[in-house]
Amino acid sequence: MASFKPTKVQFLPKLGEKVTEDTLYWKNYKSPVQIKEFGAVTKIDFSPLAPHNYAVTASTRIHVYGLHSQEPIRSFTRFRDTAYGGSFRGDGKLLVAGSEEGLIRLFDICGRVALRQFTGHSKAVHVTSFLSDGFRVVSGSDDLTCRVWDVPSAVELSSITEHTDYIRALAPSKLNPDLFVTEPLFSSDVLFYDSGVCVTGGRYVKIWDLLKGGQELVSLKNHHKTVTCACLSSVGNKLLTGSLDRHVKVYNSSYKVVHNFDCDASILSMAVAPDDEVVAVGMTNGVLSVRHRKHKKDKETLTSRRRRGPSYRVFVKGKNFVPRQDDFLVSKPVKQYLRKYDKQLKSFEVSKALDTALQMWTRTSKPEVTVAVIIELNRRGTLKNALAGRNEESLTKILNFLLKHIFDPRFSRPLLTVGDIVLDLYRQVLHQSPVVERQLQRLMEVLGREAELQQELLQVLGILDTLFASLTPRKEVAALAALPVDQGPQLQAA
């Protein structure tokens, strides 16, 4: 059975990209769902009628998927060798496919055994399709012939032998049941486009106008490698091309690329649902990438859905566990995580480290952390570099911190150093910022008052020393003065 693997891909607008209505329309797809097939996906075809199931041809089987199914709802495996070109009829009830054996098989979508088997090609049949009347099948083979078959009788109606190379691309007209286009090996894909024909070959995508005698209208070269497939959207009849360069490009009516889908591997096949609800891409690595269109109800469901938190027992699991006597305990080392300012100091980002230490919560709740960073910067000799080149806002934070904590005995010395460096750096430009100038004046006033207070305290200490000396008994002082010099160590020992 096929397996699926969802992946998340985010499409961001490129620098300078002009966002148009077409661009927004094709950006509105969900992340792709990836389904693993048994081999390279060579053909994808959507049923024209609802519910628009799609057939995927890969290796020796054809799987039919629903629009929202990630497992096949029907499988056709009656191929002895590689299957090619599985295509639906207009009513979605029949499926035709070629094979490496040179046989063409017709299946009922509700059954498993082939209803018809068309024989006549001598080599592999790579392309098959129903004509628009639904009663005939056209096929192209490596035997250089293109044949038309009657569905009811399984009889060959006609054979075209003018080809000189393998036939690898075929497209029937939806308007004329007797008109179809084939292309040889050097062309990768072909389809009817408005009043013309679109052919992919090499790195080029070319469009010819049939009404003007096959006049070339445009030649596109937007891919870096061979263009392998092309298809049309239902809304606006937009052209999509896929290439071995792993890109799907969407063109507007002016043949300008309006969007780009990126894939994980080289692209071999591609198809768009009739209502543009699904874009399916087949790749060389056997992966089918399916993108679904987003709807408003999907967004409402995601926003209304609450994320369920973990249960309480998850947090208390094993909390009361008591080891037995014969158990061996293995202690797990606790990993120490560095703070943001530590990481910045480790990376020599001194200015950023100081900014982090001066954040609101740190400088108000844990000023010792801020001072510790300042001390470390001073120890490294990079404090002046960290304080230089600051704007008015960051310098105001530093000055506010100094005004608040400079008189704390724990922080006075490093913060005085900071104040000196700030004055040296910004003395010449103080007049440019009234806020910073006012704060520095306030800091100088506070420091002046503090210096006066310190002088008064020193005077008080001198007075106290004199008082303490005068209160000492005179006899004790005289006795101490009369002691011999050699008794000094004995007195100290005592």
Q: CB pairs under 8 A, 24+ apart, for 119-125?
A: 120/147, 120/156, 120/159, 121/145, 121/147, 124/82, 124/84, 124/98, 124/99, 124/100, 125/84, 125/85, 125/98, 125/99
Distance CA 84, CA 96 (A): 9
pLDDT at res. 172: 92
Q: Output phi, psi for 114, to 5 deg.
A: -65, 130
Beta bridge partners of 141: 125
Q: What is the mean pLDDT of each run of 10 residues along the chain (494 residues)?
A: 42 53 86 91 92 93 91 90 94 94 94 91 95 94 94 93 91 90 79 82 88 86 92 88 94 90 94 92 94 76 60 72 79 81 91 91 90 92 91 89 88 88 85 85 84 87 86 60 52 37
- Residues 6 or more apart whose CB falls under 8 angstroms from that of 264 comprise 34, 246, 283, 285, 287, 289
pLDDT at res. 108: 93
Amino acid present at 16: G
pLDDT at res. 228: 92
pLDDT at res. 19: 66
Token pair listed for 16 = 């300078």
pLDDT at res. 475: 55
Burial class (CB in 10 A: 0-12, 13-18, 19+), 304: exposed
pLDDT at res. 193: 77
pLDDT at res. 170: 92
pLDDT at res. 444: 83
3-state helix/strand/coil string of 430-480: HHHCHHHHHHHHHHHHHHHHHHHHHHHHHHHHHHHHHHHHHCCCHHHHHHH
3-state secondary structure of 361: helix
Q: Are 92 and 109 in contact (CB under 8 A)?
A: yes
For helices 392-405 and 412-426, the axis angle rounded to 10 degrees is: 150
Q: Are 56 and 71 in contact (CB under 8 A)?
A: no
pLDDT at res. 474: 59
| Sheet strands (E) in 327-465 | none
3-state secondary structure of 190: strand
pLDDT at res. 494: 35
Output the CA torsion 384→385→389→393 (10° steps): -70
* Cβ neighbour number for residue 405 with a 10 Å cutoff: 18
Distance CA 135, CA 302 (A): 47
Beta bridge partners of 125: 141
- Sign of the CA dihedral running 294, 296, 301, 307: positive
